Amino acid sequence: MDAFIDPLTRDYMPVNGSPARDPAGGLANACYLRLSTPLGSWWADKTFGSRLHELRRVKDLSRMQRLAKQYAEQALAPVLDDGRASSITVSVGHPQKGQLWLAIEVSDAGGNPLSFKYPVQVI
């Protein structure tokens, strides 16, 4: 099982001095890495990643929220396609102090829910 990467700190989450395990058996990390990697930047798979990094240049708030949701859903679609998740829901919060928060709800293939927040840097 993978060590858990906390989306808020972007680092491994320690528990009693050693890294915590991904509560979803690697699914949480798979989602986090797809959201945080710029689309096309990974040498092994040019379709891996998201376009969320592009939102740093968008000024229209209503458009930014629609794009953030769309980009996150597109980035996470392969997790659904390969059967690792049975459903993924993305909700967008209002931007505050240069950050937009995505609330991600993922159900694994067995129907077990996983929720996490993902920060997106914006203007």
Q: Where are the domains of the chain?
A: 5-121
Question: Mean pLDDT for each 10-residue chunk of the chain (123 residues)?
Answer: 66 65 71 91 92 85 88 95 92 84 90 88 80
Q: What is the pLDDT of residue 21?
A: 64
In this prediction the pTM is: 0.83
CA–CA gap between residue 102 and residue 85 (Å, rounded): 18
CB 8 within 8 A of CB 117: yes
- Residue 27 pLDDT: 81
The alpha carbon of 120 is separated from its chain's Cα centroid by a whole number of angstroms, namely 10
Question: What pLDDT is recorded for position 19?
Answer: 65
pLDDT of residue 13: 66
Q: What is the pLDDT of residue 92?
A: 93
Q: Which long-range contacts (CB under 8 A, 24 or more apart) does 35-42 make?
A: 35/7, 35/72, 35/75, 35/76, 35/102, 35/104, 35/118, 36/7, 36/10, 36/118, 39/75
Residue 122: predicted pLDDT: 82
Give the pLDDT confidence score for residue 4 in this predicted structure: 66
Taking the mean position of all CA atoms in its chain, how far away is CA 50?
9
118 and 104 Cβ atoms separated by less than 8 Å? yes
Q: What CATH class is the domain 5-121? A: alpha beta
